[in-house]
């Protein structure tokens, strides 16, 4: 996003819902299977009912 590379992909001790949305936007090109913080944000949004995962897992993003 904005041609600024994302350099930190480590999990966070606390993830708010608002910050999870921001992480999903900033790590748009990161595969959730590799990027720990994107996977954490995705799980947080699922738990909060803000994201409904597909029935079939997708490869990549």
Per-residue pLDDT, 34? 92
Per-residue pLDDT, 57? 66
Q: What is the largest CA-CA distance in the chain?
A: 33
5-58 pLDDT, tens per residue?
Answer: 677 889 999 999 999 999 999 999 999 899 999 999 999 999 999 998 877 666
Question: Which residue range(s) make up the domain with 42?
Answer: 1-52
Per-residue pLDDT, 58? 63
* pLDDT reading at 61 higher than 80: no
For residue 31, tell me if it sits in a domain.
yes
Which stretch of DSSP H or E encloses residue 21? helix 17-26
pLDDT band for 3, please (50, 70, 90 cuts). Answer: low
Q: Is the pTM of this model over 0.85?
A: no
Measure the CA–CA gap between 5 and 14, rounded to whole angstroms. Answer: 23
For residue 61, tell me if it sits in a domain.
no
For residue 10, tell me if it sits in a domain.
yes
């Amino acid at each position: 996003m904005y041609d600024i590379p994302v350099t930190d992909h480590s999990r966070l001790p606390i993830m708010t819902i608002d910050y999870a949305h921001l992480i999903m936007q900033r790590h748009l090109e990161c595969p959730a299977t590799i990027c720990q913080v994107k996977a954490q944000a995705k799980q947080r949004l699922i738990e909060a009912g803000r994201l409904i995962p597909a029935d079939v897992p997708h490869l990549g993003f």
